Amino acid sequence: EAQVTQNPRYLITVTGKKLTVTCSQNMNHEYMSWYRQDPGLGLRQIYYSMNVEVTDKGDVPEGYKVSRKEKRNFPLILESPSPNQTSLYFCASSPTRVYTGELFFGEGSRLTVL
Amino acid sequence: QQPVQSPQAVILREGEDAVINCSSSKALYSVHWYRQKHGEAPVFLMILLKGGEQKGHEKISASFNEKKQQSSLYLTASQLSYSGTYFCGTESWGAGNMLTFGGGTRLMVKP
């Protein structure tokens, strides 16, 4: 089944404790992206990647890191999480390089930073 | 800068129509529409490209006014399954491969 898989789905952590949210897609998509969703603010793009080893900042990259060492994986790293990073995070992928294609979203990862 | 959606929320009875608007301050290449049901991931509805091309999965119509940098999503004869939050996403000229979403419009369809 074609899908985008995120882990963990739910996480409660404390300020400063490094964490990684994994994202994997099995559709051989070139484009991958991370969004955070907060009430009233919609989906805001954190980082995106056009291909292996190519990543770019979105609208809200501060406090996050990403890497794209393999085509299928695009992990989101919070080196020192803070409470303002409490949010619902979505990973998404798309088949097209120059983006005019449908985004396929993962099921989301709800992160709480205490 | 995020596109602005209006209205923020709308309540309908089954069978009624609704229009959701999306407006940007930037020159747009494309407008995307997604629907998100409570507790689920957003699901693709439609893409409208500069020049008039549309790509979509469902029988939902939309318009894209390139000059005004606006798009509207038309939901006709609404069904209970239309309930959810609708997001427009915009792709701007010169903004690389970023898709910027609006704050969402919450739609509730009642029996």
pLDDT, tens only, B14-39: 999 999 999 999 888 889 999 999 99
Which residue in A45, A50, A104 is closest to B99 by CB distance? A45
Query: According to the model, what pLDDT value does residue B54 have?
Result: 67
Alpha-carbon gap, residue B36 to A35, rounded angstroms = 14
CB of B60 closer than 8 Å to CB of B75: yes
Across the A:B interface, residue pairs with CB atoms under 8 Å apart total 63
Tell me if residue B81 falls in helix, strand or coil.
Answer: helix
Contacts of A74 (CB under 8 A, 6+ apart): A23, A24, A25, A32, A33, A34, A49, A66, A67, A68, A91, A93
B47/A contact by beta carbon, under 8 A: yes
Q: Name the band, by pLDDT with cuts 50, 70 and 90, for residue B93.
A: confident
To test the contact with chain B by mutation, choose from A38, A102, A107 the residue with the greatest count of B C-beta atoms within 10 A, namely: A102
Q: How far does Cα B86 stand from its chain's mean position?
A: 6
